[in-house]
Structure 1
Amino acid sequence: MQYLSVGIIYVFEFLITVSFCNRVMDKKMKYSKILVCTFPLYIAAMVLYFAFENLAINSIVSFLIFFLTIFIGYKEKIYKQVIYTIYLTMINYISEAVFYLFVFSRYTAITQEKTFSDPQSLLLSISSKILNFILVQLLVLLIKHKELNGNKKFLPLFIYPFISLCFSAQFVSLEDKYQFTKAEFNTYIIISVINTIMCIGIFIYYGLLDEQDKKLKEFEKEQQFVELNDSYMQVLESQNNEMHMIVHDVKNHYAAIASMDDANEIHDYISSIANDIQKYQIIKLTNNKMLDLLLSKYKVECSANGIEFNTEVKTADLNYIDDSDLSIVICNLLDNAVQAASKSNAKQISLSLRRVNNFDVLTVTNSCDIEPQSANGKIATSKKDKTSHGYGMRLIEKYARKNNAEYEWHYENDKNIFVSTLIFKR
Structure 2
Amino acid sequence: MTTICFLLTYIFEQFVAYIYFSKKLTQKVSNKQLLSSYIISFAIQFAVNFTNIPYLNLLSFLICNFLIAYICYYSSIKQVIFNVLLLESLMIVTELIIIYSATLLFKIDLKNYSTNPYIFTLETIGTKTLYFVFAYISSRISFKEKKNAIDKDYSYLLFFLPLTSVVLIMSLVYVSINLDLDQIANILFMIISFLLLIINIVVFLVHERIISTLTKNTELQLEKQKEEINQEYYIELERQYDVSNILVHDIKRCLLNIRELSNSKDYNEIIKYVDSIYQGYEIKSLKQYSNNKLVNVIVSRYAQLCYENNIEFCADIRNIDFSFISDSDLTSLLDNLLENSYEASRNSQDKLINLNIDIKNESYVRIDMSNSCDKNPIKMNRHFETSKKDKKSHGFGLKIINKIIKKYNGNFEYSYDIDSHIFNISIILKIQKFLISV
By relative contact order (CA 8 Å, sep 6+), the higher-ranking structure is 2
Give the TM-score taking structure 2 as reference length: 0.48
